[in-house]
Every structure is written in structure tokens, then in C-alpha cells.
């Protein structure tokens, strides 16, 4: 791309303007000018295709990210949870020793009643607060919103080691 941006393909026009004779050298100059024009069009098309490919890659990466994020809470969603489950299953099958992890399932009590009496806007706010609270408690683990009022935490690492303390914090 940088090569194409530094080249002056406008010289084809200059060649055509300066060549006045109709001899063999002039014909060769005209053919050279035609080749320069063709190269110019090709390079512009190549740059355009490259830019379109970059945009498509960016859009695909963004779509993939959005497909794994819950729009309301910003945490991982059910699609990401399924992918995580598949990765855990693969690790379990491929290692000889035990894999230390845990699953915590949480749900927001009475969300339907809250939505019915206080409105969905308030219910959404409750879900966002619940999401923040769960993420604050389980700082080293992946948190997913897997359904309307359901959250799943995949405990790993330090959170797995201190799981009883974290579960006590969640219950409060």
C-alpha cells in the first residue's frame, strides 16, 4: 500500500501529451502509458479490496464479540457460556489429573413480580446491579448471564480456592 501511495501514475498523461511523432518509439511510449494506466487502475482496485477486507475482518471480530456479550449487563452471555463449557469439557478429557473448577448458579428472586409491579426499566436496573455485585464478588472468575434472571459463575484459580468465603459473601 505505501508503495502505491508514493507512485505517480499520472505520468501516463504526460507521456501522451509529450509524444507528437508517429514512429515506433512513439508507439512504444503510448503502450507504456497504457500499461501505466492499467497498473494505476489495478493498484487502486487492490487498495480498495484491501480496505474492504480490513473492514470485513473488523466487522466479523466485532460481531463475534457482540454475539458473546449480554447487551443489558455487558457480561458474557449464554453463547459464551456454552463455548466455555465446551472448552472445559475438552480440558477434562485431555488431562490426566483433576481440573479444579466450580459452577455457581444465581438467579434474581421475584424478577417477574418486579417487572410487573415496578416496570421493566426497574427490572433491568436490578439485573445490572445483580451483575455488578456478582462480578465484584467473583473477581477472578468468568460470569455469564445465561437467561432472563439467571447468572452462572465458573469458579477458577483463586476464587475456587476461597469459594466458601465468596459464597458466604454472595448469600449476604
Cell of 152: 452462572
Q: Which of 124, 149, 159, 168 is catalytic?
A: 149
What sign results for the dihedral spanned by CA atoms 156, 158, 164, 168? Answer: negative
Distances (CA, A) of 96 to 59, 91, 93, 145, 156: 40, 10, 8, 31, 18
Question: 4 and 43 in contact (C-beta within 8 Å)?
Answer: yes
Question: 120 and 162 in contact (C-beta within 8 Å)?
Answer: no
Question: 9 and 37 in contact (C-beta within 8 Å)?
Answer: yes
* Whether residue 70 lies in the annotated active site: no
- Give the span between the Cα atoms of 158 and 110, in whole angstroms: 32
Smallest Cα–Cα separation from 169: which of 153, 148, 157? 153
Catalytic residue positions, numbered: 149
Amino acid at each position: 500500500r505505501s508503495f502505491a501511495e508514493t507512485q505517480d501514475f499520472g505520468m501516463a498523461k504526460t507521456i501522451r501529451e509529450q509524444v507528437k511523432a508517429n514512429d515506433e518509439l512513439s508507439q512504444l511510449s503510448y503502450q507504456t502509458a497504457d500499461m501505466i494506466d492499467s497498473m494505476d487502475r489495478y493498484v487502486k482496485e487492490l487498495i480498495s479490496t484491501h480496505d474492504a477486507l480490513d473492514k470485513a475482518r473488523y466487522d466479523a471480530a466485532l460481531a463475534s464479540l457482540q454475539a458473546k456479550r449480554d447487551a443489558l449487563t455487558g457480561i458474557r452471555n449464554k453463547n459464551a457460556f456454552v463455548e466455555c463449557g465446551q472448552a472445559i469439557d475438552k480440558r477434562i478429557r485431555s488431562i490426566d489429573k483433576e481440573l479444579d473448577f466450580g459452577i455457581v448458579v444465581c438467579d434474581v428472586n421475584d424478577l417477574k413480580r418486579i417487572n410487573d409491579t415496578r416496570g421493566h426499566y426497574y427490572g433491568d436496573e436490578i439485573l445490572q446491579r445483580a451483575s455488578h455485585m456478582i462480578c465484584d464478588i467473583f473477581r477472578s472468575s468468568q460470569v455469564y448471564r445465561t437467561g432472563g434472571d439467571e447468572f452462572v459463575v465458573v469458579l477458577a484459580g483463586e476464587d475456587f480456592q476461597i469459594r466458601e468465603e465468596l459464597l458466604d459473601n454472595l448469600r449476604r
